Amino acid sequence: MSTAVIEIRGLTKSYGKTRALQGLDLTVERGEIFGFLGPNGAGKTTTCRVLTTLTKPTLGKASVSGFDVVRQPVQAKSGMGVVAQHTNVDGELSVYANLRLHGLLHHMPSALREKRIDELLEFVGLTDRQGDLVRRLSGGLKRRLMIARALLHEPKVLFLDEPTVGLDAQTRRRIWDLIRRSHQAGVTIMLTTHYIEEAESLCHRVGIIDNGKLIALDTPASLLASTGSHVVEEVDGSGRCCFFDSREKASAHAARTSATVIIRRANLEDVFIRLTGRRVRP
Ligand code: ADP
């Protein structure tokens, strides 16, 4: 039996002359936290929008939980939760009313709906705020509400598009904790991010996307191993990086060069630099 939850084959999406996706192939297995990492404009949101049935591909196929997202959008959507990049909870309704509305839209039986609302308010730490108007919540609390709402109807797959963008470091860690705990509860997770630390800290596998193409796909550890564990980086303007598989080799190179350099451990940004010559976050 296939354990694939998300299958993407030859996915292409054009907006006029812009080719946002250029023949993407990807499989996400049940139980993974999969991260889609790439710079702004790489095609991450477009992929999410196709998978969550918000836009149709120009060419190629995609399925979620075995349902084709173009031909069976209702079935595909019923098993997924979506946390969009932009805040899309209703500010004029209370926290509780936002959740209740979502449950009604998903035709949840009322007893199950109320039970899940209680559980999820507790899960995201909003029980005490359930009567508050959402417009009075901070950005971090709104994001927590969006996660609660996305999980309410017990989806098998959770899509999170840049879940921590614009949030402070402490709130970001709290969201990471919620993502980990959702995964422990059995939800497969696909998230997009341009934060290197987010991909390294959360994801079992990472796909690196650039210009609508997947340019690397592996575990964070294997991606780092293929790049070299240590980097000698010029810090006097050029930012040029050289990669080595040990600190000793990096130190020997640093001793030979006349440039001002630092030696540091490699991260996923270095994988991107090595593959493209550019940075994820310019
Ligand atoms: P990312 O999420 O990685 O930042 P996107 O998927 O948003 O990237 O965008 C990929 C490319 O598609 C970019 O060049 C972007 O400008 C373009 N694009 C995305 N959405 C639209 C749209 N609705 N109309 C025209 N171009 C778009």
* One-letter identity of residue 167: L
CA distance 70 to 66: 12
- Among protein residues, the one with the nearest Cα to ligand 1's atom 14 is 41
The answer to whether the CB of 20 is under 6 A from ligand 1 is yes
pLDDT of residue 280: 78
Q: Does the predicted TM-score (pTM) go above 0.75? A: yes
* Residue in 11, 14, 18, 162 to alter for ligand 1 test, most ligand atoms within 8 A of Cβ: 18
Tokens of 2: 């296939």
The answer to whether the CB of 281 is under 6 A from ligand 1 is no
Long-range contacts of 133-137 (CB under 8 A, 24+ apart): 133/91, 133/92, 133/93, 133/94, 134/89, 134/90, 134/91, 134/92, 134/93, 134/94, 134/95, 134/98, 135/91, 135/92, 137/95
Residue 44, burial from CB neighbour count under 10 angstroms (0-12, 13-18, 19+): buried
Return per-residue pLDDT of the chain as tens, 282 residues: 679 999 999 999 999 999 999 999 999 999 999 999 998 899 999 999 999 999 999 999 999 999 999 999 999 999 999 999 999 999 999 999 999 999 999 999 999 999 999 999 999 999 999 999 999 999 999 999 999 999 999 999 999 999 999 889 999 999 999 999 999 999 999 999 988 889 999 999 999 999 999 999 999 999 988 889 899 999 887 888 999 999 999 999 999 998 999 999 999 888 888 888 888 776
CATH number of 4-220: 3.40.50.300
- Among protein residues, the one with the nearest Cα to ligand 1's atom 11 is 20
**Of 224, 195, 234, residue with least CA distance to 85:** 195
pLDDT digits 0-9 by tens, 87-120: 999 999 999 999 999 999 999 999 999 999 999 9
> Which residues are paired to 161 by β-bridges?
192
Spans of all domains in the chain: 4-220, 223-276
- With the CA atoms of 40, 46, 49 and 55 taken in that order, what torsion angle do they form, in degrees rounded to the nearest 10? 140
- Among protein residues, the one with the nearest Cα to ligand 1's atom 12 is 20
pLDDT digits 0-9 by tens, 157-205: 999 999 999 889 999 999 999 999 999 999 999 999 988 889 999 999 9
